[in-house]
Structures are given as structure tokens and as C-alpha cells.
Amino acid sequence: MTIQFTLKPIPPFRLDLTVLALRRRPLNQIDRWEKNRYTRIFLCKNEPVKTTVYQIGTIKQPKLIVEAKNNGNTAVSKNGITGLLKKTLGLNIGLDKFYKLVENDEDLQELTYGLVGMKPPCFPTVFEAAVNAVACQQITLDNSIKLLNRLSRRYGTHYDDQLSAFPTPENLYRRKANDLRQLGFSYQKANAIIGLVRAMVEKKLFLEKLENEDMVDVYAYLHQIKGIGRWSIEYILLRGLGKLNVFPGDDAGAQKKLQKYFHTDIKLSYEKVKKLTFRWQPYAGFIYFHLLLNGLMKKSSSVKPLVVTYS
């Protein structure tokens, strides 16, 4: 069954920039970008739904056309898909105060030049954010995304021969660390993910209930999880829980980008990163995405910068 409907994000909005910040690399097979369309297999009531989104209208008057279809005769949940897209693409996040901050900061104007319309992306589930955090620890982003692609392909719920959803804890519950080792995960990462899965399925850990909790409490809660350190916690807070005030201070790539941004050869410590980014609060995490996107734009031929002001 197929449904088609329209969504109107809070402006300004650019689907291409938001998806680029979400997927990070062209080799990402979970979040796909082809012919100006975003495609992902979402799970609605454990059923895979192929969801394709493209943008019409303008950056200041955006409109998204959504097509969602499953392989059965049951109705596709418009509300379910809408909720997932709102979180994943930040459709309902208003950024007027951020752009006011930009107006009064020449450095931010330079950084955000051509990137107006990006919304902060977020993984659909906190579990997916946590697995991404573990996968991305201490290896290149390209290699970590390859691992995540294999994990999704092997254990995610399949829509067809080419497309599958990101695996749920239930998908992975009967697996052992050696199963993930065969996909290329290190011993430590495989054990961390399997431990996370078992704790969630056995109701010892409740990641998806953290969204409305105080950030200090969330930090303490995540800190108890084996294999989840400071960098991973801040990664989950930003990319899984949408905490835009969190800049992952231990992120080596972000540290290098800040070095270039502030024209310094001095290696930045965690404490120095927090001090430098304090001036951008409560949007330090959103600046993290801008620094990421600046680097990605130079590598991507599919996304072109547009000179857009917002006032």
C-alpha cells in the first residue's frame, strides 16, 4: 500500500543540506540521497516502510512531498511516518534565535554562509544513535559507516533485496559478539553493542525514554553503559536526543575544524573546546553540524551552496 502526503517544515529549510549532515558520507546505504530525493526504510509497528521525500517550494516557503509504501495490504501510518520524519529531519525546530545570534557575530556569518536552511538531523531512535556512537569510536568515518551498512544489511528488517531498516534491539537479541566480529566490528565494539541490546530487550535499560529527562540525569544514565564514554555520551545527546547545546568536545574531527576556524595550530583539549564554543550557547551543537557540513560540502558534488539570508 502506498500513501502520499505533504509536510511543511518550519522555514528556512533545505532538505539537501539536512540529509547531507545526517548521512555524512555518500556510501551510507541506510540514509540514501539520489536524484534530489531522500530515501530510508523506517519501521512502523515493526513493518518496513519505504519512505521517499523531496522538496518543492523555496527555502523560506518549503514544502515536502512524502511517499511511503509497504509491501502488504495494511494501511501505512501517516502519523507514524510524519513523527519519524519530524525527528530525523528536524522539521519542527525553529531557529529564529539562532539566526539572530548569527546577525550579531561576523564569525558565525562566515561559517553559516551558504548553509541557511539546514536543520539539525537526529537518528530516529536513541538506540541507533548509541550503536553509531560505538561504531564510530576511534576509526575513520568511512569505515564506521561501512560497518553500519553491513549491520543493517545482515540483521535489519528487509524491505526488498536492496533496502533494509536499521536493526532493532530485538533483531540483534539472539546474536553473539562473534556474529558482529564477522562483519568487521572489533571485539570491544561487538561486546558493547551486544551488551546494549541485551540490556534493552531484557528491560534493564530504557534508552527511548530519555528524551524528556534532564540532561544531567541522562548523562549519568548513559555513563553506566559499558563501552559508552564521554565522547559517545555527547554524540548520543546531540544526534539521538537532539540536545543542540551539546558540542562533542572529544571529537577529533571537530577539534581540527575548530583549529582551522580559529586559525590556531595549538591542539585543542576538551576543556578548550568547551570554552571556545560557550559563546554559541545554546546552539553549540548546531555549530558542530555547520563545521561538519563545511567539510562535507567541499567533497560533495551533489549539493551546491546557495547565498541566502534570513531575517
- When mean pLDDT is compared across 27-36, 60-69, 249-258, the lowest value belongs to 249-258
Higher pLDDT, 81 or 227: 81
For residues 137 and 166, give the distance between their C-alpha atoms in angstroms, rounded to a whole number: 19
- When mean pLDDT is compared across 11-20, 46-55, 106-115, 132-141, the lowest value belongs to 106-115
Q: For 99-128, what is each residue's pLDDT tens digit?
A: 999 998 888 888 888 899 999 999 999 999
Q: Residue 55 — φ and ψ, nearest 5°? A: -105, 140
What confidence tier does 21 reach under pLDDT thresholds 50, 70, 90?
Answer: very high
> To the nearest whole percent, how much of the chain has pLDDT over 90?
75
Average pLDDT value for residue range 198-223: 91
- The whole-model pTM stands at 0.92
Higher pLDDT, 226 or 180: 180
| 32-34, strands of its sheet edge to edge | 2-7, 62-69, 47-57, 37-44, 32-34
Average pLDDT value for residue range 31-51: 95
Among candidates 46, 127, 51, 121, which has minimal Cα distance to 86?
A: 121
What confidence tier does 22 reach under pLDDT thresholds 50, 70, 90?
Answer: very high
Among candidates 157, 187, 162, which has minimal Cα distance to 172?
A: 157
Instruction: Please determine, for residue 310, whether its predicted confidence score (pLDDT) is greater than 80.
Output: no
pLDDT of residue 79: 95
For residues 260 and 284, give the distance between their C-alpha atoms in angstroms, rounded to a whole number: 17
CA 228 from centre of chain: 17
Residues 6+ apart with CB under 8 A from 259: 265, 266, 267, 268
**How high does pLDDT run on average in the chain?**
91
Instruction: Please determine, for residue 303, whether its predicted confidence score (pLDDT) is greater than 70.
Output: no
Q: Which residues sit opposite 63 in a β-bridge?
A: 56
Higher pLDDT, 295 or 71: 71
Q: For 236-280, what is each residue's pLDDT tens digit?
A: 999 999 999 999 989 888 888 888 887 888 888 999 999 989 989
Among candidates 242, 230, 247, which has minimal Cα distance to 285?
A: 247
The full set of domains in the chain, from first to last, is: 2-93 (3.30.310.20), 126-239 (1.10.340.30)
